[in-house]
Structure 1
Amino acid sequence: MSTDDRNPFESAPPPGGDTSASLRAGEPDSRSVSAGQGLEWLRQGWQAFVAAPGEWVLITLLWVVAVVVLNLVPLFGMIAATLLAVVTVGGLMGGCRALSRGEPFGVAHLWAGFGERVNPLLALGGWYLLASLAIGMLILLLLVISAGLAGIAAMAGLAALMAAVPAMLIVAVMLMAPVLMAVWFAPALVMFHDMTALDAMRVSFFASLRNAPAFVVFALLYVVLTMLASVPAMLGWLVLLPVTFGAMYASYRDVFDQP
């Protein structure tokens, strides 16, 4: 059970100056927290948003536009968008840290990841992209095999393909879960602990596994929030994305017991 329900976005930083050195002390140890912390992370993510709503909305608009435009470019655009997304998330982790300390927060944090930690962040994005593509190709292959085994007739194959889609979606979620576990904490670990991409993914995976109950609660609540955010012409995502970034940072501080 968590021994600390502090909200980093509601409390002032401790006296004694910058704590950057303590955040770069090497590979951190994770701890187990209670399942209810999944809700607490979302609450703290909301607090991160209300601490600077105008800045967050502007950052989110720029982030979404850049990712969407890049995805319009065949093949290369998808690769660039994925790498850009991971690097910018790394920068926004620094922005969340600034908010938690009462320091200035703004659009500059969106590209703060393009600094000394850009190479491991790009590597992190590359590993995530490769894993996602491998899972996508596997699901596509399974769908083709399912349709082929159903019969030679075109209609029979199409019916089998449609019937197999829900099952393949479940398989895709199960396969993507470990990937998401490996990248959830990784941007913060790369930014604040000078870790390589692979080391950060390893630490993130086992920290997530250790806190599976909290992540189950978080995921169930997040599914509901995504549906609500999508109803008003997707406008709710202007709030939900900042809340997500804030929740990522809050979970990192909680699980790794950071000041």
Structure 2
Amino acid sequence: MFMRTVPARQGAQWIADGWALFRLHPWIWIALGVINLVVSLILESIPYASALNSVFAVLWTGGMCVAAERCRTTGVVRIADVTDGMRAKLQPLFAAGVFAFLITIICDLTGGSVSDGFSLLLKTVPSHQFSGVWQDVPWLYVLVYVVAAVGGAMALWLAPPLIVLTDAAPVDALKQSFAAACRNVWPTLIYGLIVAGLAIASIVTLGLGLLVIVPLLYLSTFAACRELFSLDSSESS
């Protein structure tokens, strides 16, 4: 599978490309974003089920990318396109979802110790005790958490669209996604900063901005995958 290296400015272009798709059928994309948020909130509210959100996110990303591809090629999108896309690639998407679930468990197990350690560090007074507590921070947990969170995010970012758009096997999709993120650090960083800015903007709008930001996140991921793996050129060949 051919993988491209693109300039940093393309991180912003992925958002623009996603926005162009969003504008074609904004109300349907908003409806899909609402469904996404509702299911996520339900899973979060169920004891011991919050980690399943990671599995759902992978499945939903795959379905949204199928809907985005239909919108791009036909100009039409339906809510059923998402569920149809998930069903068509359920097994490989679920396998990638299991990986996401394991990453979530690792982050949950190490995150508590990391949070407790830094909370104690920040509360330490007087300052002469600071160095002693600094040594007590669980640095091994910090390392495991950072590696799992960052590495997992890189591997999972483009894996669902690769599975549904190129029929990639789950392990191959995870590897290719990780490699694409490594080879395109600057556009990926720009993209992440813009997404973070949009998330902050949603707070200003009392969460209403999420109705647009959530589907835009999926659509821009779809756009990034298409460019980084030259799917347009593969179709024309």
TM-score, L = length of structure 2: 0.83
Q: Which residue of 2 aligns with 1:42?
A: 15
Judge conservation of contact 1:96–1:249 (CA < 8 Å) in 2: yes
1:183 deviates by 0.7
1:199 aligns with 2:172: yes
Aligned length: 221
- When the two chains are superposed, the root-mean-square deviation of aligned CA atoms in Å is 2.9
1:186 aligns with 2:129: no
Residues 148/101 of structure 1: CA separation in 2 closer, same or farther (3 Å cut): closer
1:242 pairs, out of 211, 215, 222, with 215
Where 2:31 maps in the other structure, the secondary structure is helix
1:140 aligns with 2:109: no
Judge conservation of contact 1:113–1:121 (CA < 8 Å) in 2: no
1:110 aligns with 2:45: no
Q: Which residue of 1 aligns with 2:62?
A: 90
Q: Point out where structure 2 has 5 or more consecutive residues left out of the alignment.
A: 123-128, 233-237
Fraction of identical pairs, as percent: 24
Residues 98/108 of structure 1: CA separation in 2 closer, same or farther (3 Å cut): same
Q: Which residue of 2 aligns with 1:123?
A: 95
Residues 36/79 of structure 1: CA separation in 2 closer, same or farther (3 Å cut): same
Once the two structures are superposed, residues 124-148 of structure 1 have per-residue CA deviations (whole angstroms, 9 ceiling, x without a partner) of 1110111122123123234456678
CA distance in 2, matches of 1:248, 1:59: 16
Residues 102/113 of structure 1: CA separation in 2 closer, same or farther (3 Å cut): closer
1:39 deviates by 0.6
1:99 deviates by 1.3
1:215 aligns with 2:215: no
CA distance in 1, matches of 2:119, 2:75: 56
Q: Which residue of 2 aligns with 1:101?
A: 73
TM-score, L = length of structure 1: 0.76
* Structure ranking higher in helix proportion: 2
Judge conservation of contact 2:12–2:194 (CA < 8 Å) in 1: yes
Q: Which residue of 2 aligns with 1:9?
A: none
1:243 deviates by 1.2
Q: Point out where structure 1 has 5 or more consecutive residues left out of the alignment.
A: 1-27, 151-155
1:61 aligns with 2:29: no
